[in-house]
Amino acid sequence: MIDRIYSLLGLARRAGKITSGESQVEAMLKKRKGHLLILAEDAQGTHKKYQQWAEDLRLPVMIIGTKLELGVAIGLSPRSTVLVMDVGFAKAILKIRS
């Protein structure tokens, strides 16, 4: 299941449909953009802040993997936050999770 999610995240990155890293994700959330917020399990300091923000925006949140695993999935350095910008990718990932 998690491997399928990581595959979809990789595809979404290659399609230019995600933003990652705290500063980029914060910028998009301030603009009220995005369809799914993904947080790394080992990024405890960011959970409360981003979960409250996502709740205010009615944005689904998924906590999976480590920072390293998320980074590898999208072909970048370790990432604690990933924001899926495309509704199709977001729905596909949420469907796998449920």
If one counts every other C-beta atom within 10 angstroms of the C-beta of residue 9, the result is 27
What pLDDT score was predicted for residue 64?
A: 93
| pLDDT in the model for residue 1 | 84
Question: What are the pLDDT digits (tens) for 7-65?
Answer: 999 999 999 999 998 899 999 999 999 999 999 999 888 888 899 999 999 999 999 99
Domains of the chain in sequence order? 2-97 (3.30.1330.30)
Closest CA to 74 of 12, 3, 29, 4: 12
For residue 76, which amino acid is it?
A: L
Please determine, for residue 98, whether its predicted confidence score (pLDDT) is greater than 80.
Answer: no
Q: What is the pLDDT of residue 45?
A: 83
| Cα distance from N-terminal residue to C-terminal residue, the chain | 10
Burial of 24 per CB tally in 10 Å (0-12, 13-18, 19+): middle
Q: What is the pTM of this model?
A: 0.93
pLDDT at residue 37, as a whole number? 96
pLDDT at residue number 5:
93
Q: How confident is the model at residue 2 (pLDDT cuts 50, 70, 90)?
A: confident
